[in-house]
Amino acid sequence: MCGIVGYTGRGSAARAVFRGLKALEYRGYDSVGIALMHGGRFALHKRVGRVDCIQDVQEQNGEIGIGHTRWATHGGVTEENAHPHVYQRFAVVHNGIIENYRILKEECLLRGERFSSETDSEVIAHLFEWEYRGDLLSAAQRVCRRLRGSYAIAVLCLDFPSVILCAKKDSPLLVGASVEGQFAASDLSAVARKGVTCYRMENGEFSILDKESVSFFGADGTAIEKTPVSYSLQEQDTELGGYGHYMIKEIDEIPQAVERTIRAFKREIEAVQGLKDVFRIHIVGCGTAYHSGIAAKLFAQKRGCVSTEGYLASEYRYGDQTVDANTLVIAVSQSGETADTVAAAVMAKKRGAKLLAITNVAHSTLTSYADCVLHTKAGCEVAVAATKSYNAQLAVLYSFFDAFSACRERIWKGLPDLCKKTIEASRRVKEWANQMKSAKCAYFIGRRFDYAVAMEGSLKWKEITYLPGDGLAAGELKHGTLALVDESTPVVALITDQAVADKTFNAVHEVIARGAPVYVVTSIPSYANCEGAVDTVLIPQTKEEYMPMLSVIPLQLLAYYAAVALGNDPDKPRNLAKSVTVE
């Protein structure tokens, strides 16, 4: 988490850094800071709060600067702990975790150095000062050799008034070169724009940015050439475009996300052929990506694929499951940077498994380890709560399993249109949100594919309403949770699978009998007038395996409207960040 930015060039560094920080705000937003170098000294601006609370700094002079938007790991949310950290000649912004910072800090303290923050990152500025003997690159090499853990850093030194030094290991870092100036940032969306050539830095590499150009160096300090990454400016679009929040904009974009993803898969289908020779498939991911993996596992089983299981990446990486050369691991991640998912993928590679990465971010850490990459084409997802990326993940996973199982059936072209109709049919959940916003706890129930969606619905609910919620297999209620159900615990029931609809309906009656207000999402007209339910949303009908793509939409909207009704910012839920690059 955290986002780092750097700029050196002919324009205003304060404006360029601020703009970059706005693009990276989804990575963390508890405090923010910018260091500008001007007239032989640093001007340091740090504030607790979101990036906007530093917007006045844009008026400051300076043609070189670095910035940081923070998601606290070591040290509380205070101005002192906000980056950049300055020590004597050096200012540093850091994304990652320095695991051996205590030992390093101890050494600095023994030398009599004073620290002004509780962070692991400040030690990097101290090490630079200690290791510096007039040559910035050599100092960086010596410093990086001493760091354990993960880092993407941008460093300013008062002796080099137009230079930014960057280094990276296990945290993402991109560099952009243009006539107007040079940029560095944690992700492509903050550097990509017209006229900017972008490069992805790899582990162990260094870059030196000055006003006119960028140079890259390997771990041993020798100059290297790098190939620019290709990107589509349209996919980097982060404009709000008249919407009140990114989350609602991104829900409205689901039909295009699904349509683009299905189309792109057709061009990538050949890649799947090389992955077929396996006995088992493991799908790994975190949060929403895990939930898309669970729905896809059910889909794979329906298609009669080889044994397919879905795992939480954070459990999988430490688990004892069989992973070998006969295993295909599918790592699903919107960002491609989630630490647990990347670690699970690396572990699987080490054990000889084939690795397929499914990501929404083309040049991410996960893609660099993969044997094969399939892209979701959801476009930039800014809201922390994942919405359109879930639907796009389903589109690519389903397409993959159809191709893998040589199923004649292909993912249905009509799905984007059905998504659009579902969005329209689901607007009425705004009223549900008003009724449910004072709930003690909300339960989401369903069976099979509906259960997979119930889990995702409850995650969305908790994440942005800050109210308790649980996604349950409808058949499990009476094995425990029913004890908690009463008038203050609304239940959202998903009934989209004809084969088990009656069974879920039994569970609905059981909770109505305990006084729970019940809200039904169904695609089956005969369940649309469910007696005793508060209200029903009737969504379009398609095969049950495709229903998660649709039935998740009313639940995404429900969480959104409830969060807004509660006065929460649905785009930036407290304590969370979009890219979870720490374990």
Q: Site residues (CB under 6 A) for ligand F6R? A: 286-289, 333-335, 338, 341, 385-386, 459, 463, 580
Task: Supply the minimum distance, in Å, between the C-beta of residue 287 and ligand F6R.
Answer: 2
End-to-end CA distance of the chain: 10
Task: Supply the minimum distance, in Å, between the C-beta of residue 334 and ligand F6R.
Answer: 3
- Of residues 190, 216, 212, the one with CA closest to residue 201: 216
Q: Which amino acid is at 52?
A: D
Residue nearest to ligand F6R (CB): 287
User: Is-catalytic flag, 2?
Assistant: yes
User: Is-catalytic flag, 380?
Assistant: no
Cβ atoms < 10 Å from Cβ of 111:
8
Task: Supply the minimum distance, in Å, between the C-beta of residue 540 and ligand F6R.
Answer: 24
From the list 169, 437, 572, 578, the catalytic residue is 578
- Of residues 462, 449, 444, the one with CA closest to residue 398: 449
Nearer to ligand F6R, 341 or 522 (CB): 341
Nearer to ligand F6R, 124 or 580 (CB): 580
- Of residues 71, 7, 73, the one with CA closest to residue 34: 7
What is the DSSP secondary structure assignment for residue 170, as one 8-state letter? B
Q: Which amino acid is at 355?
A: L
Task: Supply the minimum distance, in Å, between the C-beta of residue 576 and ligand F6R.
Answer: 8
From the list 2, 305, 372, 419, the catalytic residue is 2
Task: Supply the minimum distance, in Å, between the C-beta of residue 143 and ligand F6R.
Answer: 29
Written as one string, the DSSP assignment of 392-461 is: HHHHHHHHHHHHHTT-S----TTHHHHHHHHHHHHTTHHHHHHHHTT-S-EEEEESTHHHHHHHHHHHHH
Angle at 529 between CA 525 and CA 534, to 5 degrees: 130
Task: Supply the minimum distance, in Å, between the C-beta of residue 459 and ligand F6R.
Answer: 6
Nearer to ligand F6R, 12 or 581 (CB): 581
Distance CA 426, CA 496 (A): 15
Nearer to ligand F6R, 57 or 344 (CB): 344
Altogether, the residues listed in the chain come to a count of 583
Give 74's Cβ-side CA count (13 Å radius). Answer: 18
Nearer to ligand F6R, 105 or 572 (CB): 572
Q: In what order do the strands lie in the sheet with 307-312?
A: 307-312, 280-285, 327-333, 354-359, 372-375
Nearer to ligand F6R, 18 or 290 (CB): 290
Active site residues: 2, 578
